[in-house]
Amino acid sequence: MKEKIVLAFSGGLDTSFCVPYLIEQNYDVYTIFVDSGGTPESEILAIKNRALELGSKNHFSVNIEKDLWDQILTPLIFSGALYQNKYPALCSDRYLIVKESIKLCEKLGTKNIAHGCTGMGNDQVRFDLSIHAHGNYYIVTPIREIQNLTENVRKYEEEYLQKRGFHVATIHKKYSVNENVMGATISGSEIDLWEEPSDETYVLCNHPDKYPKKVTKLEITFSEGKVRSVNSSSNEGPALLRELNALGGSYGIGRTIFTGDTIIGLKGRFVFESPGISILMIAHRALEESVLTDRQNIVKTKIGKEWVDLVYRGFYFEPLRENIEAFLKDNQKNVSGIVRVVLSPGRVDAVAVKSDNILASNEGVYAQSASWTEAESKGFIKLIGQSSATWSSVHKNK
């Protein structure tokens, strides 16, 4: 009897190859497409039809954009951090793809799971670590396996499918584009060669020639760190983020050319666009700066960086991530208020903050007025600098 196996399926060349390959390895293949918010209904249907055409016993589709908002985007905003100070971990939907694939394994009563990651990128690490974190599963990785057989993996896959009578697209895409509700990542072609990306790489963002000439003002409401509304819009969660992606994208906000240090030790260069996240993070940070103490701001920044590093590097299911999120949630208790932001070509600025929790002191206004005396100021400065002054007195004659 054939064993069942669950394959995370996108409909592209790699996962299309995986279906007949796994069947020939004596598996009954069950495919699952996990929509993280960037796929139209027509394409979801095409992906299903492709899976069944290739021999999938049954195909499943599930939408995770609400989970992506709750489980990834919300703590990302809380953290205030970007991987290597630039990248908002748009790859994080991989963890939820694994969660849904594991759920299907449990439903089907199998411990076999497969994915179409190559041995040349980060996603293989994210998938494998996440699967291992869920228990004793047997992972099959067809694309990595055939890398032992050929140097031209794409040609091997195309010929394999063609020999078995399956249609293969003859037009090769110039760029690899990954899009979800958080944003879009574009790689390939001249981007990989450290050259200037072409005009074709604009996905969510307008080309600079098409930026609006007038600025747009938004009022963003937060409650305990969570986004509640934008200009009193009734949209929430993913719908709100789409609204901000469209508006911010029209100004080119959140578009970045990024060269980062990957999990596997290579330099990775790509373009990403995340207009909505850029707007929310700038607004959220302006509110935090106003309502958190200096120690809270300093420590939260350090801990937030650890959160995004864990998530980027494949350790989403590491217990430390949950520990950090517990801290971040507690840290956000007083992060409530309204922030006004101004959108202009290529940038977003937080220009006003309204909150009952602003730490405005009755003792003074910075650089303007204070209740303490001149003698108290001198005494404070003497004490705070005492260690440095002592070091100088001891070592100045050496």
Q: Where are the domains of the chain?
A: 3-163
Give 306-350 as a DSSP string.
HHHHHHHTT-TTSHHHHHHHHHHHHHTTT--EEEEEEEETTEEEE
Position 372 scores a pLDDT of 84
| Cα gap 341→246, rounded to integer Å | 16
Beta partners for residue 185, in sequence order? 178, 272
Which pLDDT value is given to residue 362?
Answer: 78
User: CATH for 3-163?
Assistant: 3.40.50.620
What's residue 348's pLDDT?
Answer: 98
229 pLDDT above the threshold of 70: yes
Task: Using alpha carbons, list the distances in angstroms from residue 187 to 117, 203, 232, 347.
Answer: 16, 12, 36, 23
- Binned at pLDDT 50, 70 and 90, residue 184 comes out as very high
At which residue do the structure tokens 């010929």 appear? Answer: 159
Q: What's the pLDDT score for residue 367?
A: 66
Answer with the residue of higher pLDDT: 372 or 385: 385
Average pLDDT over residues 110-134: 96
The model's pLDDT over 7-59, given as tens digits with 9 standing for 90+, comes to 999 999 999 999 999 999 999 999 999 999 978 999 999 999 999 999 999 99
Model confidence pLDDT, tens digit, residues 302-344 = 999 999 999 999 999 999 999 999 999 999 999 999 999 999 9
Closest residue by Cα to residue 36 from 242, 234, 235 = 242
Burial class of residue 97 in the structure, from the number of CB atoms within 10 Å of its CB (0-12 exposed, 13-18 middle, 19+ buried): buried
Mean pLDDT of 227-238: 90
Backbone phi and psi for residue 193, each to the nearest 5 degrees, phi listed first: -100, 10
Task: Express as a percent the part of the chain with pLDDT over 70.
Answer: 99
In the chain, beta strands by DSSP E = 3-8, 27-35, 58-63, 112-114, 138-140, 176-180, 183-187, 216-223, 226-230, 255-261, 267-273, 337-344, 347-354, 364-365, 369-370
Q: How far are the Cα atoms of 46, 61, 121, 179 from residue 86, in angstroms, in the given order?
A: 35, 32, 19, 18
Average pLDDT, the chain: 95
Region 82-99 average pLDDT: 97
Q: Mean pLDDT, to the nearest integer, of 225-249? A: 94
Q: How many C-beta neighbours within 10 Å does residue 393 have?
A: 9
**Mean pLDDT of the region 235-249:** 95
Contacts of 253 by beta carbon, 8 Å cutoff, 6+ apart: 205, 275, 278, 279, 343, 346, 347, 348
Q: Which residue type does 299 have?
A: V
Measured in residues, the chain has a length of 398
What tokens appear for 186 in the block?
């574009």
pLDDT per residue as tens digits for the range 258-300: 999 999 999 999 999 999 999 999 999 999 999 999 999 999 9
Q: At what angle do helices 13-24 and 41-54 cross, to 10 degrees?
A: 30
Q: Using pLDDT thresholds of 50, 70 and 90, give the confidence band for residue 369.
A: confident
- Judge whether residue 172 has pLDDT over 80: no
Angle CA(219)–CA(182)–CA(237) in degrees, nearest 5?
50
Half-sphere exposure of 261 (CA within 13 A, CB side): 5
Q: What is the pLDDT of residue 237?
A: 94
Neighbours of 192 (CB within 10 A): 13
**Could you tell me the pTM of the whole model?**
0.93
HEC profile for 165-214? CCCCCCCCCCCEEEEECCEEEEECHHHCCCCCCCHHHCCCCCCHHHCCCC
Instruction: State the Cα–Cα distance between residues 136 and 134, nearest whole angstrom.
Output: 7
Assess whether pLDDT exceeds 70 at residue 345. yes
